Structure 1
Amino acid sequence: MLMATINSSIVIISLPAIFRGIELNPLEPGNVSYLLWIIMGFLVVSAVLVVTLGRLGDIYGRVKMYNLGFAVFTVFSVLLSVDPFHGGAGAWWLILMRVGQGVGGAMLFANSTAILTDAFPAHQRGMALGINQVSAIAGSFLGLIIGGVLSEWHWRAVFWVSVPIGILGTLWGYRSLVELGERRKAKLDIPGNLAFAVGLTSLLVAITYGIQPYGDHATGWSSPWVLGGIALGVVLLVAFVAIEKRVEHPMVSIDLFRIRAFSLANVAGLMASIGRGGLQFMLIIWLQGIWLPLHGYSYESTPLWAGIYLLPLTIGFLVAGPVSGWLSDRYGARYFSTGGSLLVAATFVLLLAIPVDFDYWMFAVILLLNGIGSGLFTAPNTTAVMNSVPAHERGAASGVRGTVFNSGSSLSIGVFFSLMVVGLANVLPRTLTDGLTGQGVPHQVAADVGNLPPVGSLFASFLGYNPIESLLAPTGTLEHLPAANADTLTGKEFFPNLMSGPFHDGLVIVFLTAAAMMLIAAIASWSAGGKYVHDDSAGEALGRA
C-alpha cells in the first residue's frame, strides 16, 4: 500500500525533471493534456477498476489478485523507466505505462483492506487497518520527498525505486500469504462493469478538463465536451445502479448501501479524500510559487523543499493513525472520525488566518494538527466500512472504499484548481498587467500576458518553473528589456509579491470549500452510528452503540 500511494504522488513532484528528460515543455500550447494525463492516468484507472478487481477477489481469491497486482505494478514500473522516446511520443509512453501501473495499483488497493479484514478479528481490525491506512496516506506525502530527492539525481530513478520493492513484495506474497477469505462462485457482471467503468471515467475526465480554459472563459466548465462528459457519466452511473438491481450476480450489491454504517462512512471518506487532495495541491503551489522563492530558494529547487516543509503533515498522521485505529476497536469509530473531520476543518480556517508569507512555525503547527485530524479520521472510517459488510462482500466493499479514496483524489484536481482559477481570474489580470508594465514591458504585451488563463501561472508554480519567464518567453520581450528590469521580473521576489494578494483571494474560496466538505464528513461520520460489526452467523450486525 505504501508503494502504491508513493507512486501516486512521486510523479507529481518529479514532473519538471521528467519533462526535461523527455525534452517536452508542458506549458506550451497543446501540451497541457500531456501534463494532466501523466498525473491523472494512474488515479483514474485506480478509481475505476478497484470495485471490479475487488469483486474478482471475492470470486477467485483476494490473495491471488493482490499478488498479481504486485507483479503487474512491478512490470510497468520497469517499462516506465526505459521510455525510449522524446517529445510527445515520450509523454504518451509514460501515460500508457502509468495506466498499466494503475491497474496493478488498483489490484493492491482493492484487496489489501479485505485481506486484513479477513486476517484479524473484529476487536483488532482497527489497529491493523490503521497501520494500512497510515501507509496509504503517508505514502502520498512521502512520495513528494522521495520524488524530489530522486529527480535531482535522474528522472528515471523516480520509476526505478518501485522495482526492488515490487520484486520482493511479489515473491514474499506468493510464498507467505494464505487465502483466508470466504469465496463464492459467481459470474462477472459485464454490463454493470462496463457501465460503471465508462461512466466514472467520463465523469472524472470531464471534471478534470474543467480546469482548462475554453474560449474566452478562464475555465472549461462551459465547454460542451466537459458538460457532455459529465452528463454521460451521470447517465451511465444511474444505469449502473439499475443494472445491479436486476442481475443475478451484481458487481456491487446495492443492498450494501442500505447499511447505514457502510454508506455514510463512504460519504465521509469521499468528502475527506477530496479535501485532502485539494490541500496537497494548494500547499505545493503556495510553497513553490510564493513562500520558498521569497525565502531565497530557486524555482528549480522548490519541488524538493516543498516536500520537506510538508513533513509535519505526515508526522501528525503517522502519530494519530495507529492510535485512533486501536481506540476505535474499543470504542467504535464515531467519536474519532467525527472529531478528526472537525479538526481538519478547523485547520483549513487557520490556514486562512496566517499571512501568505508566514512564519514557518505557525504553518508547521497547523500542518501537524491537520495530519493528526486526518489520522484520527482515516483508520476508524475504514474500519467502519469493512466491519459493516458480510465476509463474502469484503472484496467489493474494499473496492468501493478504494474507488471513493481514488475518485476523491482525482476530483480534487478538477474541483480545487477550478476554484483557485475562479478566485484568481477576477484579480490577477489587472495585477499582472500593472506589475509587468511597471518594469518596462510594453502595455499590449503586458495586457496579453495578464489576460492569459490563470491556470498557466498555477501550473508553472506547481512544476517549479519560473512563472514570469515561462509567461514572457514566447513573446521575446525579456531579450529587449534593460538587464535590471529583466532580472527583477525573473527574480525570486517579483512574482511571489505580485501573486500574494490574488492567491490569498483564491485560497479563501478553496479552503472554505474544503472546510465545508470536512463538516459534511463530520456529520456523515456521526450519523453512521456507533460500533457496528456484521455478524455473518446471525446475518445481522453486532455491537451497535
Structure 2
Amino acid sequence: MQYKWIALSNTTVGILMATINGTITIISLPAIFRGIDINPLVSFQYLLWILMGYNVVTATLLVSFGRLSDMYGRVRLYNLGFLIFTIGSILLSLTPGKGDTGALELIIFRIIQGIGGAFLFANSAAILTDAFPIKERGKALGINQIAALAGSLVGLILGGILSTIDWRLVFLVSVPVGIFGTVWSYTKLKELSQPQRQGIDVPGNLTFALGLVLVLIAVTYGLMPYGGSQTGWSNPWVLASMGSGLALLAGFVFVETKVKYPIFRLSLFKIRMFSAGNFASMLRSFAYGGLMIMLVIFLQGIWLPLHGYSYSETPLWAGIYMIPLMIGFVSMGPISGWLSDRYGARLLSTLGMVIVGSGFLALSTLSYDFSYPEFAAIIFFMGIGNGMFASPNTASIMNSVPKEVRGSASGMRATLQNTGQTASIAMFFTIVIITLSGVLPHTLAASLTDAGAPQLAPVAYHIPVTGALFSAFLGYNPVREIISTLPPSVVSTIPHSVLSTIEARDWFPDAIAPAFMQALRVAFYVGAAMSFVAAIVSAMRGKVVIAEEDKVPERKGEIKQQ
C-alpha cells in the first residue's frame, strides 16, 4: 500500500475517534448523570464543563502543539496524542466516584482526553499535506473532514445505543480503537519533513494559553446564573477573567512580533488565501459550532417526548434524526475536495456558506411541532453546504504555506476553528438563555394556571432558566422537585389530578416548547448572519496560492503567489 493511503487511513481513524468522543458524550449525558447520581437542576455547572472542558483544552493547546510538531516531528507528536487519548478513555470508563466527586473525575479525565485530541487535531492535516501531492490534497483533506463530521454524527447514534446499556460503554468504546490506532501509527507512520530544531517560545506559549483559558472560562461561567440574573455576565469574576484574558491575548500578538521563534507565525497572515481561509473557517465555526448541541437538546428534550418517545429512547432517536446532516456532508465532501483540486476553493467554499446561512433562515421558520421531513430536508442541505466549504477551504489553507511550517499552520488553523466552535456553543447558550429569561417564567406561569394550579404560578419565577433548559434535555421535571419543597398546606390545595398532570415528564417539555423555539429563532438569525459574513470573507481569498517548496517568509516578507 502506498504510504499516502496509510497516512490517510490512520489520520482518518484518529479524527473519527476524537470527534465521535465529542458528541457521544453530548447524547449520553442523561445516562451519565443518572449513573453518577447528579441532579442537573442544582449541578448544571458540571454539565457545562463535561460538555466544554474538552474543547477548552484542545483550543488552548492546538497552536502550541502545532509549533512543537514542526520542532520534534509531526508523526511523533501525533502518535503521542493517540496514546494519551486512549489513556483518557480508559480512565473515563473506570470513573469510580458518585455525585460531585464523580462529576469532577469525569471533567479531569475529559481534560486528559482533550490533551490527546489536541495532538491529533494539530497534526493530522499537516501529515496529510506532507503525504499527498498537490493535485490530490483536496480529496485527501476532504475525506479527513468527512471523518470529522461523520464522527460527530456517528457519536450521536452510538451514544444513543450504548447509553441505554451502560453509560461506561460510552467511553469504553474508544479504547480498542485507540489501542489499535496507537500501535498502527507507531509502526506505520513516518516523518516526511525534517524537524526544525528551533527554540521554544516560552513567553508566547504562556500568554496565549493563559489568555485563551481565561477567556473560555469566562465564557463558560457567563452561562451560569449570578445573583438575580439568569446569566453570569455581571459576575465580577467573569468580567475580570474576560478582561484579563483579552489583555493577555493582545499582549500575545505583541510578543509574537518580538520573539525569535514565534509559535503563532503572524507573517503567515500576509498570505491572502491563508488569512481569508482561516477567518472564514472561524466565522463558520462561530455560526455552526453550537447548532448541533441545540438541535440535540431540542429533539431529545422537547420534540421527541412530545411525539410519544420515552426518555430512555430519546438519545438513540435524536441521533437517528440527525442523520440527514451527515448524509449531506458525506455526499458532498469528496466531490468538493475533488473539484477544488481542479478549480480552486473560492467558489465552492463561498457557495457552501451561502447554503448554510440559508439553512439557518429556513430553520427559523419552523414551529416547535414541526414536520420531520421538512426538518430533515433543511439539515440535509446544511450538510451539503458544510461539505462544499470544509475540504476546499482546508486544502487552500494548507497549500498556501511552505512545507517547513505546516505543523504551525495546521495548529493555527485548528486553534481558530476550535476556539470558534467553543465560543459558538457559549454564544448559542447565551442567546437562548437570555431570550428564555424574558419569556419562560411567564410561559410556565401561564401553563401552571391553565393546568389548574394557579397557586403554583409563582414557582415558575424561581426556576433557573439554565437549570430548566438542561432539565428538559436530561429528562427531569424541575416543577416536581420544587413542589416537594413547598409547605404541605399549599400542596394540599391542588387537586391530585392536577398534580399528576404537572408532575408528568411530558408536561414540562410541552410547557417550555414555545418559549424555547422562540429563543432558538434568535440564535438561528445570528447563525445565518455569521454564515453570510463567512461567505463574504471566503470570496475574498483571491487567486490560488501554492507554496510547495518556498521558504518561510520573514516578518517583512511574503510568500510568492503563483
Instruction: Settle same-fold status: TM greater than 0.5.
Output: yes
Quick one: structure 1 residues 406 and 537, their matched pair in 2 at CA, closer, same or farther if it must change by over 3 Å? Answer: closer
Matched, 1:515 2:525: no
2:24–2:159: 8 Å Cα contact kept in structure 1?
yes
2:451–2:498: 8 Å Cα contact kept in structure 1?
yes
Q: In the alignment, which residue of structure 1 is the partner of 2:5?
A: none
- Can you list the C-alpha shifts for 1:19-45, whole angstroms capped at 9, x where unaligned? 1111222322xx222111111211111
Q: Which of 346, 351, 365 in structure 2 is aligned with 1:334?
A: 346
Quick one: structure 1 residues 504 and 51, their matched pair in 2 at CA, closer, same or farther if it must change by over 3 Å? Answer: same
1:298–1:492: 8 Å Cα contact kept in structure 2?
no
Quick one: structure 1 residues 474 and 518, their matched pair in 2 at CA, closer, same or farther if it must change by over 3 Å? Answer: farther
- Can you list the C-alpha shifts for 1:243-276, whole angstroms capped at 9, x where unaligned? 1111111112110112111112111111111222
How far residue 474 of structure 1 moved from its aligned partner, in angstroms, is: 4.8
Q: Give the 5 Å matches for 1:304-319.
A: 304-319=316-331
Q: In the alignment, which residue of structure 2 is the partner of 1:415?
A: 427
More off after superposition, 92-101 vs 467-476: 467-476
State the alpha-carbon separation in 2 of the partners of residues 476 and 270 from structure 1. Answer: 52
What is the Cα-based RMSD across aligned positions, in Å? 1.9
Unaligned runs of 5+ in 1: none
Matched, 1:27 2:38: no
2:44–2:467: 8 Å Cα contact kept in structure 1?
no
1:449–1:472: 8 Å Cα contact kept in structure 2?
no
Q: In the alignment, which residue of structure 2 is the partner of 1:426?
A: 438
Matched, 1:404 2:404: no
Quick one: structure 1 residues 473 and 387, their matched pair in 2 at CA, closer, same or farther if it must change by over 3 Å? Answer: farther
State the alpha-carbon separation in 1 of the partners of residues 80 and 380 from structure 2. Answer: 37
Matched, 1:457 2:468: yes
More off after superposition, 134-143 vs 158-167: 134-143
Q: Which of 356, 368, 379 in structure 1 is aligned with 2:391?
A: 379
State the alpha-carbon separation in 1 of the partners of residues 126 and 485 from structure 2. Answer: 52
State the alpha-carbon separation in 2 of the partners of residues 442 and 537 from structure 1. Answer: 74
2:27–2:315: 8 Å Cα contact kept in structure 1?
yes
State the alpha-carbon separation in 2 of the partners of residues 469 and 337 from structure 1. Answer: 49
Q: Which of 52, 55, 64 in structure 2 is aligned with 1:43?
A: 55
State the alpha-carbon separation in 2 of the partners of residues 248 and 451 from structure 1. Answer: 56
State the alpha-carbon separation in 1 of the partners of residues 18 and 487 from structure 2. Answer: 43
Quick one: structure 1 residues 83 and 441, their matched pair in 2 at CA, closer, same or farther if it must change by over 3 Å? Answer: same
- SS of corresponding position for 1:153: coil
Matched, 1:13 2:27: yes
Q: Give the 5 Å matches for 1:104-119.
A: 104-119=116-131
| Matched residue type, 2:444 | L
How far residue 409 of structure 1 moved from its aligned partner, in angstroms, is: 2.1
Q: Which of 139, 148, 155 in structure 2 is aligned with 1:143?
A: 155
Q: In the alignment, which residue of structure 2 is the partner of 1:495?
A: 508
Q: In the alignment, which residue of structure 2 is the partner of 1:74?
A: 86
How far residue 52 of structure 1 moved from its aligned partner, in angstroms, is: 0.8
State the alpha-carbon separation in 2 of the partners of residues 114 and 342 from structure 1. Answer: 28
Q: Give the 5 Å matches for 1:274-293.
A: 274-293=286-305
Q: Give the 5 Å matches for 1:161-180.
A: 161-180=173-192
Q: Give the 5 Å matches for 1:107-506.
A: 107-441=119-453, 443=455, 445-466=456-477, 468-469=479-480, 472-475=483-486, 480=492, 481-491=494-504, 493-506=506-519
State the alpha-carbon separation in 2 of the partners of residues 337 and 472 from structure 1. Answer: 53
2:472–2:508: 8 Å Cα contact kept in structure 1?
no
State the alpha-carbon separation in 2 of the partners of residues 49 and 423 from structure 1. Answer: 33
How far residue 501 of structure 1 moved from its aligned partner, in angstroms, is: 2.5
More off after superposition, 53-62 vs 523-532: 523-532
State the alpha-carbon separation in 2 of the partners of residues 54 and 472 from structure 1. Answer: 53
State the alpha-carbon separation in 2 of the partners of residues 405 and 225 from structure 1. Answer: 27
State the alpha-carbon separation in 1 of the partners of residues 464 and 37 from structure 2. Answer: 24
1:302–1:464: 8 Å Cα contact kept in structure 2?
no
Quick one: structure 1 residues 457 and 109, their matched pair in 2 at CA, closer, same or farther if it must change by over 3 Å? Answer: same
How far residue 541 of structure 1 moved from its aligned partner, in angstroms, is: 5.6
2:402–2:550: 8 Å Cα contact kept in structure 1?
no
How far residue 340 of structure 1 moved from its aligned partner, in angstroms, is: 0.5
Q: In the alignment, which residue of structure 1 is the partner of 2:555?
A: none
- Can you list the C-alpha shifts for 1:141-167, whole angstroms capped at 9, x where unaligned? 221111111110101101110000000
Give the structure-2-normalised TM-score: 0.92
Matched, 1:536 2:537: no
How far residue 468 of structure 1 moved from its aligned partner, in angstroms, is: 4.1
How many residues are matched? 541
Quick one: structure 1 residues 416 and 471, their matched pair in 2 at CA, closer, same or farther if it must change by over 3 Å? Answer: farther
How far residue 281 of structure 1 moved from its aligned partner, in angstroms, is: 1.9
State the alpha-carbon separation in 2 of the partners of residues 538 and 199 from structure 1. Answer: 31
State the alpha-carbon separation in 2 of the partners of residues 336 and 239 from structure 1. Answer: 36
Give the structure-1-normalised TM-score: 0.95
Quick one: structure 1 residues 108 and 470, their matched pair in 2 at CA, closer, same or farther if it must change by over 3 Å? Answer: farther
More off after superposition, 130-139 vs 497-506: 497-506
- SS of corresponding position for 2:547: strand
- SS of corresponding position for 2:313: helix
2:472–2:509: 8 Å Cα contact kept in structure 1?
no
How far residue 479 of structure 1 moved from its aligned partner, in angstroms, is: 7.1
| Matched residue type, 1:26 | P
Quick one: structure 1 residues 159 and 204, their matched pair in 2 at CA, closer, same or farther if it must change by over 3 Å? Answer: same
| Matched residue type, 2:291 | L
Unaligned runs of 5+ in 2: 1-14, 553-557
| Matched residue type, 2:512 | M
| Matched residue type, 1:422 | I
State the alpha-carbon separation in 2 of the partners of residues 288 and 246 from structure 1. Answer: 51
- Can you list the C-alpha shifts for 1:73-112, whole angstroms capped at 9, x where unaligned? 1111111111121111111111111101110010000001
2:402–2:551: 8 Å Cα contact kept in structure 1?
no
Quick one: structure 1 residues 462 and 110, their matched pair in 2 at CA, closer, same or farther if it must change by over 3 Å? Answer: same
2:129–2:137: 8 Å Cα contact kept in structure 1?
yes
State the alpha-carbon separation in 2 of the partners of residues 467 and 406 from structure 1. Answer: 33
Quick one: structure 1 residues 469 and 531, their matched pair in 2 at CA, closer, same or farther if it must change by over 3 Å? Answer: farther
| Matched residue type, 2:394 | T
2:550–2:559: 8 Å Cα contact kept in structure 1?
no
Quick one: structure 1 residues 84 and 499, their matched pair in 2 at CA, closer, same or farther if it must change by over 3 Å? Answer: closer
Q: In the alignment, which residue of structure 1 is the partner of 2:68?
A: 56
